[in-house]
Structure 1
Amino acid sequence: MAYHTGVHNVQSAKTVEEVMNALYYNKRDYAYIKENYKRLAKAIAKQAHYDNLTTDPEKTAKVMEKAFEKTFKIIDKLLPEVNEENLEVLGRAIHMNTDDPFVVLRNAGIDVEPELEEFRQFLAEISGKRVEERPRFRGVNTADLTLETHKLLGILNGLKFADYSEKAVGRALRELDARVEELMGKKNLELLGLYLGFQRLLERRDFERAEEFLRELS
């Protein structure tokens, strides 16, 4: 939305957040979003128009549809299904001792770089900015990965203290969603994988596996 409106501000993010929050409050998961993304695109466009961010809701809805579609391609390729095999591959790829996460992913038949670059070019196109092809991703600083893992463990401990209430889990998922969007913009694959894996497990309310996932990386 920020790229589509040509500005980067809190109001743009809030417009999308208002629609996504409604989904979380109604316990709508990723599968629901994929099935109903066109309706969601229209809802976001309508809200953007109401907030005086855009003047053409129909055009905005079309842009948001494409944004959803390209985002789905990245998520589905990075973590197509939450199972032991996929989590093991993802865990190895983002582990602090892994020099090149793309080697791990490619060996497992996963290559998300084309999809990430496609999304980046899409953002550049709708913002009217030309961009040059970027080099391959560089590994994340291991200290950063450890720090982020400990942050997620802190979130999980907070949920445990709150007896895993739906309100607390919903709030955590909203925070994770915002962080995932930020990491996608930065093209930080290692941290993106960490947050997506943790987010998927929280959506499934599989708190035990979420803790195991994080402990293996800490």
Structure 2
Amino acid sequence: MRPTPPTAALLLMLAALAAMPASAQYKVIGPDGRVTYTDRPTTDPAHRVQALRKSGAGAGDDAAAPLATGLPQALRQPVARFPVTLITTPDCGPCDTARQQLQRRGVPYTELGVATPEDQQALQRLTGGLTVPSVSIGSQVMRGWQESDWMATLDLAGYPKESALPKGWRWAAVRPLAAPRPAAEPADERPAPSAATAPAAPPPVPTESIGPVPQIRF
């Protein structure tokens, strides 16, 4: 199913984000709905104040700083403020197309793969669905490959329309979307107590079934 194209209001919001001062730390919403960005929060109770997370609060925020290292000036600001995270799954034709288009345009990105039930659950939490490819550009998340929508959002975020990457640039390998589970602790090798001294086993605790994991769509 093709996702709904962004509305005019969404494009205006993205344009405002692209023009936001680099030093802005707060988003202030007035009683009339007008939005302003500032480095100091207001104390006016009629205004709503939201603290901004660094780098646009995207899924790949922690990778934005190393991505910006060694980039030309044209890419440093958009990568720092609106990092791009591509979410894919193996054997996905639209994922391959999205990846190729980002690389052709010269967009540095972090790629996260969906391969396990834990990855699927993380995808559901992050994007509100199970559609791949998905992309986050700063705080804007889009599900499903829509070239015009993705490219328009990259334009508003300030990414060059043609590749400005240095020669020999390489994108990082795909990482799992969900954090790996911690390693299990080694089993206790002490001899088990005899039946005469072993304490009675506690009754089983009922657990809630989460049901089958939904299938990825693309």
Per the normalisation by structure 2, the TM-score is 0.29
Greater Cα radius of gyration, structure 1 or 2:
2
Greater strand share, structure number: 2
Per the normalisation by structure 1, the TM-score is 0.29
